[in-house]
Chain A
Amino acid sequence: MASLVNGVFYQLGSAKQSISEHSRKWCAVLLVLVAFTLALVATLVGLALRSYKGFGVVVVSGTFVTAGTVFLARVIASLWQKAKTLVRQGPIPFALLCGIAAIVAMLPISLVINRSEGLAMWSVIAGGGLVLSGMILLLIDGYPVFKQYKSPGYMVLGGVMIVLALVYMTWIAYWIVPYDPFEIEMGHPNTPPCAEFPMGTTSLGQDMLSRVIAGGATMLQVAVLSVIVCFCIGVPIGLLASYRGGAVDKVVSLVMDSIFAFPGLVLAIAIAAMLGPGVVNMAISIAVVYVPSYFRVVRSQVLTIRELAYVEAAIIMGARDRDILLRYVLPNVLPSSVVVMSINFADAILTAAGLTFVGLGLPVDIADWGWDLTYGFDVITLGYWWVPTFPGIMVVLLALGFTLTGEGLNEILTPKLQE
């Protein structure tokens, strides 16, 4: 399965080269993809009506109210600006402030509605509301910006929308799932999709649909954690080692290159096997694999930046190394590290899926796309196609979202490639 998923991305990679020629066709495909994801997420979120917790509708409408407030505030603020009754800091912070105010106002409401878990519910509403607001602001304010970049811009926008939609769904999953995704024997084991279980059940009788809605959490956590760890290790090491050069640089480069030379998944498996299962351990093992990609990008950048005239001018005027690193080199390195980071997300997700596939993921009852993929792979021969298919689609969509963002940013931020 993992290789299949990988295969899709190789295809995507080669398709990327012909973007400029087929930009129109591509945009159409992109639009369809984004629309598909959004529709899918909307449908899944719509299942809140059947939420077993009973508060699905409350949570969803709570987030919608937040997003609606942000939208309204944004529109009003821009009207104000046109009427010169300036909203001083600009419309976006104003809109967000209004959204946060709405969220705060919702705190007592959620405490009244649900005594025992009120705070938890409220935090979910707050988070989900902010993610939704983010999507809206991105559409309103981001669109004109990204439009200038043509297809890479649309790629970024589409990718981010896909990712945010999935994040939103995962975030509020707990409250909207029709059945407890962890509970076994919800229905008859291995029931094919039917009215009661629209995506069937697993062989433990868990509801597939609930698992699909809730299963992104692990993967997103692992991906975010590993990418952050990676970024925080790779970038500073790259900066320090390559700025000073000399023996340290040689040694660090050697270590990084040897890590890089390993097949990523194998190395991740080895490390994860040593650390044992768990979200943090998975994240660490993935992080180790991808540190060299940051290091290499940062290093190659630093080597060119060091030669820039204004860096030399600063050195020649006796500027401190600290100033040169933080104010001259780092700002130049950041764009390309962000690109690596966004591409890294997709890799991290696929690696996480791979880790779970070989049994280094989480315990079986936790809802996790990776797990259902693994498990479904075993039962697919028995004809239970629904078990791996739906989580598989979600993994592909999530990874696709990150890849689109990454590749798009890559083309926007590294203009050299366009020549």
Chain B
Amino acid sequence: MKDILRVEDLIVDYVTRRGVARAVDRVSLTVGENRTLGLAGESGCGKSTLGRAIMRLVPYPGKIVDGRVFLDLDEDIPYENGVLKKGEVEITALDEEALRAVRGKEIAYIFQDPMTSLNPMLRIGDHFVQILQAHNPEMEKDEALERGKEVLESLGILPERIGDYPHQFSGGMRQRVMIGLSLVMRPRLLIADEPTTSLDVIVEAQILEEMAQLKEKFNLTMILITHNLGVLAQTADDIAVMYTGRICEVATTETLFEDPQHPYTQALLESVPDVTKPDKKLSWIPGAPPDLVEPLPGCMFHPRCPKAMDICKKKVPKLVQSNNGGVVACHLYGGA
């Protein structure tokens, strides 16, 4: 299996007035072709920042300090100053123009809130034209509109509605439009940041279903960022759990739910209600995540970890191979 995306030791800092907060701390990941990787964790654990850092669009005052991101291209991409060669390119080394060529064309991104991610002053069609023309300037407006209509139709939206303005659509419809917009360039990788969090449960289920179908249809590789483990159980092939900017555990979805290794993953799963076990006692994790401006030494989970040991307060655990085929960062494993 080929890796589409490879992240190596990525570090993202937010420089705030109080000090430097490390939102993503030496994260390494790979995403295989046609797989869906779920990024899970509490809010503020750095999962969204990681998603954006992959596209090199960290919101101000964030900054990628170190690390590299590689993307596999299956064709040459021409852009204003040259051509990106087929094969692996290092996103973190691209110039602005090349980056623009990759954004939207090879990696697409879907935001959490569909209500605010469409320009209220442009028709839906104009959005399509804008993106298509940004990536191939020669394309005629009519052709672009045709492409847009096709995509809308495949998402169950009447093609005539391409002339409507965003405010004429409901939340779920807008998210479909956003998905359509991100897929119109046939990207290989789709990063979806809480794509259904702001929608109601029924629409959420529909959209997740549609995304799964589209993934098949367009041969997509996906990164799904969410705090909702239920969503991941349905959609993800692999899950990476993050805590305070670090990866705790990566495993296939099945393994992770059956046999979680890391105490944080275990605690997280304990706190999810399960319809098949109505008498399961829900628990929560005592305490709150530490302040990232003043990071704790050692494993950052130690004040809340039921199995904390002395070494946990001193030494940062490394990612090691766990018994069930995944990787885990905890001193309980790896013969530490």
- A81, B72: Cα distance in complex, Å: 61
In the complex, B302 has a CB within 8 A of chain A: no
In the complex, A307 has a CB within 8 A of chain B: yes
CB distance from B125 to the nearest CB of A (A): 13
Interface string of A312-342 (1 = CB under 8 A from B): 1111111110010001100100000000000
**Contact between A317 and B131 (Cβ–Cβ < 8 Å)?**
yes
**Contact between B59 and A327 (Cβ–Cβ < 8 Å)?**
no
Given contacts A316-B57, A318-B104, A328-B119, A309 and B113 within 8 Å (CB-CB): yes
Q: Which of B100, B117, B182 is packed against the most chain A CB atoms within 10 Å?
A: B117
In the complex, B134 has a CB within 8 A of chain A: yes
The 8 Å CB contact of B134, one of A307, A312, A323, is A323
**Contact between B130 and A323 (Cβ–Cβ < 8 Å)?**
yes
9 contacts between A and B (CB under 8 A): A309-B116, A313-B117, A317-B104, A318-B101, A318-B105, A318-B135, A319-B130, A319-B134, A328-B121
In the complex, A308 has a CB within 8 A of chain B: yes
- A313, B119: Cα distance in complex, Å: 9
CB distance from A365 to the nearest CB of B (A): 51
Q: Which 8 A-B pairs have the closest CB atoms?
A: A318-B104, A317-B104, A309-B116, A318-B103, A313-B117, A316-B109, A310-B119, A309-B117
Provide the residues of chain A in CB contact with B7, threshold 8 Å. Answer: none
Interface residues of A (CB under 8 A from B): 307-320, 323, 327-328, 331
In the complex, B169 has a CB within 8 A of chain A: no
Given contacts A317-B109, A319-B130, A310 and B181 within 8 Å (CB-CB): no
- 18 additional A-B pairs beyond A310-B116, A320-B130, A327-B130, beta carbons within 8 Å, are A308-B116, A310-B119, A313-B109, A313-B117, A313-B118, A314-B130, A315-B57, A316-B57, A317-B108, A317-B181, A318-B102, A318-B185, A320-B100, A320-B134, A327-B119, A327-B122, A327-B126, A331-B121
Provide the residues of chain B in CB contact with A312, threshold 8 Å. Answer: 57, 59, 111, 117
- A311, B57: Cα distance in complex, Å: 12
The 8 Å CB contact of A318, one of B113, B116, B126, B134, is B134
User: Residues of B within 8 Å of A, CB-based: how many?
Assistant: 31
**Contact between B103 and A315 (Cβ–Cβ < 8 Å)?**
yes
Task: Tell me the nearest residue of chain A to B109, going by C-beta.
Answer: A316
In the complex, B178 has a CB within 8 A of chain A: yes
- A320, B131: Cα distance in complex, Å: 8
- A331, B55: Cα distance in complex, Å: 27
Provide the residues of chain A in CB contact with B126, threshold 8 Å. Answer: 327
Provide the residues of chain B in CB contact with A308, threshold 8 Å. Answer: 116
Task: Tell me the nearest residue of chain A to B137, going by C-beta.
Answer: A320
Provide the residues of chain A in CB contact with B121, threshold 8 Å. Answer: 327-328, 331
- A317, B118: Cα distance in complex, Å: 12
- A307, B57: Cα distance in complex, Å: 12
- A320, B136: Cα distance in complex, Å: 11
CB distance from A155 to the nearest CB of B (A): 27
Task: Tell me the nearest residue of chain A to B113, going by C-beta.
Answer: A309
- A325, B111: Cα distance in complex, Å: 21
- A331, B121: Cα distance in complex, Å: 8
In the complex, B120 has a CB within 8 A of chain A: yes
Task: Tell me the nearest residue of chain B to A317, going by C-beta.
Answer: B104
Provide the residues of chain A in CB contact with B120, threshold 8 Å. Answer: 310
The 8 Å CB contact of B118, one of A307, A310, A320, is A310
Q: Which of B59, B108, B121, B134 is packed against the most chain A CB atoms within 10 Å?
A: B134
- A398, B171: Cα distance in complex, Å: 49
- A329, B122: Cα distance in complex, Å: 12
CB distance from A250 to the nearest CB of B (A): 15
CB distance from B148 to the nearest CB of A (A): 13
Task: Tell me the nearest residue of chain A to B181, going by C-beta.
Answer: A317
Provide the residues of chain B in CB contact with A313, threshold 8 Å. Answer: 109, 111, 117-118, 178
Q: Which of A307, A316, A323 is packed against the most chain B CB atoms within 10 Å?
A: A316
CB distance from B206 to the nearest CB of A (A): 22
CB distance from B134 to the nearest CB of A (A): 5
CB distance from A334 to the nearest CB of B (A): 11
Provide the residues of chain A in CB contact with B185, threshold 8 Å. Answer: 317-318
CB distance from A33 to the nearest CB of B (A): 36
- A312, B118: Cα distance in complex, Å: 10
- A327, B119: Cα distance in complex, Å: 9
Task: Tell me the nearest residue of chain B to A318, going by C-beta.
Answer: B104
Q: Which of A312, A317, A320 is packed against the most chain B CB atoms within 10 Å?
A: A317
- A308, B109: Cα distance in complex, Å: 16
**Contact between B182 and A317 (Cβ–Cβ < 8 Å)?**
yes
- A314, B133: Cα distance in complex, Å: 13
Provide the residues of chain B in CB contact with A314, threshold 8 Å. Answer: 119, 130
- A316, B193: Cα distance in complex, Å: 13
- A419, B252: Cα distance in complex, Å: 52
- A310, B104: Cα distance in complex, Å: 14
- A320, B108: Cα distance in complex, Å: 15
- A60, B8: Cα distance in complex, Å: 80
Provide the residues of chain A in CB contact with B55, threshold 8 Å. Answer: 316
Provide the residues of chain A in CB contact with B118, threshold 8 Å. Answer: 310, 313
- A315, B103: Cα distance in complex, Å: 8
- A409, B131: Cα distance in complex, Å: 35
Task: Tell me the nearest residue of chain B to A245, going by C-beta.
Answer: B60
CB distance from A338 to the nearest CB of B (A): 16
- A331, B119: Cα distance in complex, Å: 11
CB distance from A302 to the nearest CB of B (A): 13
